[in-house]
Amino acid sequence: MQYVSTRGSAPALGFEDVTLAGLASDGGLYLPEQWPSFSADQIRALSGLSYVETAVRVMTPFVAGSLSEDELRELCTAAYGRFSHQAVTPLVQLDHQQWLLELFHGPTLAFKDVALQLLGQLFERFLSRRDDHLTIVGATSGDTGSAAIDAVAGRSKIDIFMLHPEGRVSDVQRRQMTTVLAPNVYNIAIDGSFDDAQALVKAMFNDADFARRFNLSAVNSINWARLMAQVVYYFYAAVRLGAPERPVAFSVPTGNFGDVFAGYVAAQMGLPVAQLIVATNVNDILHRALSDGDYSQGQVVATATPSMDIQVSSNFERLLFDAGGRDGVALAAQMKGFEGSKAMRLTNAQRDGAAKILSSARIDADGMTMAMRWAFDAAGQVIDPHSAIGLAAAREAKVDPSVPVVTLATAHPAKFPTAVERATGVRPGVPGRVGDLFAREEAYAKLPATFEAITAYIAERATPRP
Ligand SMILES: *Cc1c(COP(=O)(O)O)cnc(C)c1O
Mean pLDDT, residues 423-437 taken together: 88
Mutate to test the pocket of ligand 1, among 100, 102, 105, 111 (most ligand atoms within 8 A of CB): 111
Counting ligand 1 atoms within 8 A of each CB, the residue from 109, 172, 220, 308 with the most, and so the one to mutate, is 308
The pLDDT value recorded for residue 404 is 98
Nearest ligand 1 atom to alpha carbon 143: 15
Q: Which atom of ligand 1 is nearest to the CA of 387?
A: 11
Note the pLDDT of residue 307: 87
Atom of ligand 1 nearest to the CA of 142: 15
Q: Does the pTM exceed 0.85? A: yes
- Compute, in angstroms, the gap from residue 209 CA to the centroid of ligand 1: 32
Distance CA 312, CA 296 (A): 9
For ligand 1, the distance from its centroid to the CA atom of residue 252, given in whole angstroms, is: 9
pLDDT band at residue 173 using 50, 70 and 90 as cut-offs: confident
- Nearest-CA residue for ligand 1 atom 2 is 307
Residue-level pLDDT at 205: 85
What's the CA-to-centroid distance between 253 and ligand 1, angstroms?
7
**Residue 313 φ/ψ, nearest 5 degrees:** -105, 105
Q: pLDDT for 370-397, tens place per residue?
A: 999 999 999 999 999 999 999 999 999 9
Pairing of strands 343-345, 294-296: antiparallel
Task: Give the residue, by CA position, lying nearest to ligand 1 atom 14.
Answer: 307
Question: Which strands make up the sheet holding 248-253, listed edge to edge?
Answer: 91-93, 98-102, 405-409, 248-253, 273-280, 358-362
Range of weakest confidence among 91-95, 331-335, 431-435: 431-435
**In a mutational test of the pocket of ligand 1, which residue from 143, 146, 319 has the highest number of ligand atoms less than 8 Å from its CB?**
143
Cα Rg of the chain (Å, integer) = 21
* Confidence band, pLDDT 50/70/90 cuts, at residue 250: very high
- Percent of the chain past pLDDT 70, that is, above it, reads 100
Taking the centre of ligand 1 as the mean of its atom positions, its distance from the CA of residue 337, in whole angstroms, is 27
β 30-32/2-5 pair status: antiparallel
| Mean pLDDT of the chain, nearest integer | 94
Atom of ligand 1 nearest to the CA of 253: 10
Domain 91-106+224-424, what fold? Rossmann fold (3.40.50)
Helix (H) / strand (E) element for 371: namely helix 365-379
112 annotated active-site: yes
CA 276 to chain centre: 16
CA of 241 to the centre of ligand 1 (A): 24
CA of 131 to the centre of ligand 1 (A): 33
Using alpha carbons, select from 202, 249, 323 the residue that is nearest to residue 98. Answer: 249
pLDDT at 221 over 80: no
Residue ranges of the domains in the chain?
Answer: 91-106+224-424
Is it the case that residue 220 has pLDDT exceeding 80? Answer: no
Higher pLDDT, 206 or 328: 328
Q: Which of 109, 305, 410, 415 is the best mutation target for the ligand 1 pocket, counting ligand atoms within 8 Å of the beta carbon and taking the most?
A: 410
Q: H helices within 64-158, ranges in order?
A: 69-80, 112-130, 143-152
Find the catalytic residue in 112, 342, 415, 446.
112
411-423 tens-digit pLDDT: 999 989 999 999 9
Name 254's Cβ contacts closer than 8 Å, sequence gap at least 6. 260, 278, 279, 280, 286, 308, 313
Whether 292 shows a pLDDT value over 80: the answer reads: yes
User: Residue 415 CA: which ligand 1 atom is closest?
Assistant: 13
Q: Kindly give the distance from the C-alpha atom of residue 72 to the centroid of ligand 1, in angstroms, as a whole number.
A: 25
* pLDDT for the residue numbered 402: 96
Q: Give residues (CB < 6 A) around ligand 1.
A: 110, 112, 143, 221, 253-259, 307-308, 386, 410-411
- Point out the ligand 1 atom lying closest to the alpha carbon of residue 258: 7
The pLDDT tens digits of the residues spanning 297-349 come to: 888 888 999 888 888 888 999 999 999 999 999 999 999 999 899 999 999 99
Could you give the CA distance from residue 209 to residue 367 in angstroms, rounded to a whole number? 48
